């Protein structure tokens, strides 16, 4: 299984619009071969000392059956269309692709 943590930094004031577009694409992603989980999350203040808060970051938690499934996801037609829709909202993005140790 492949785990993915994607951090998407959204331009100030655009978070709500971004999340709406993201969530409208989510059902298509969940239908993809090998997609086990695909969830957008935002920071929640907890007061825990090591926590870093950023109100303009969406962290996407993903689980895929294989690396091949993830690679197919990235080039799926609905993902290419999604990327075009949100490109003006995104300042930067980073990706961690992980497997169990």
Is 12 a domain residue?
no
Which residues span the domain enclosing 60?
2-6+20-43+52-98
Axis crossing angle, helix 15-30 with helix 77-86, rounded to the nearest 10: 180
Q: What is the pTM of this model?
A: 0.94
Per-residue pLDDT tens digits for 54-75: 999 999 999 999 999 999 999 9
Counting the structural domains of the chain, the total is 1
Per-residue pLDDT tens digits for 21-47: 999 999 999 999 999 999 999 999 999
Identify the CATH number of the domain in which residue 66 sits: 3.30.70.100
Distance (Å, whole) CA 27 – CA 35: 11
Is 14 a domain residue?
no
Distance (Å, whole) CA 2 – CA 57: 22
Is 68 a domain residue?
yes
Contact 69, 2 (CB under 8 A): yes
Distance (Å, whole) CA 63 – CA 78: 18
Is 29 a domain residue?
yes
């Amino acid at each position: 299984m492949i785990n993915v943590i994607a951090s998407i930094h959204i331009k100030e004031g655009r978070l709500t619009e971004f999340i709406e577009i993201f969530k409208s694409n989510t059902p298509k992603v969940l239908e993809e071969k090998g997609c086990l989980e695909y969830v957008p999350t935002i920071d929640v203040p907890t007061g825990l000392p090591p926590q870093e808060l950023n109100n303009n970051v969406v962290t996407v938690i993903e689980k895929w059956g294989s690396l091949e499934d993830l690679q197919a996801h990235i080039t799926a037609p609905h993902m290419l269309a999604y990327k075009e829709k949100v490109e003006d909202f995104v300042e930067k993005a980073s990706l961690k692709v992980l497997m169990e140790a």
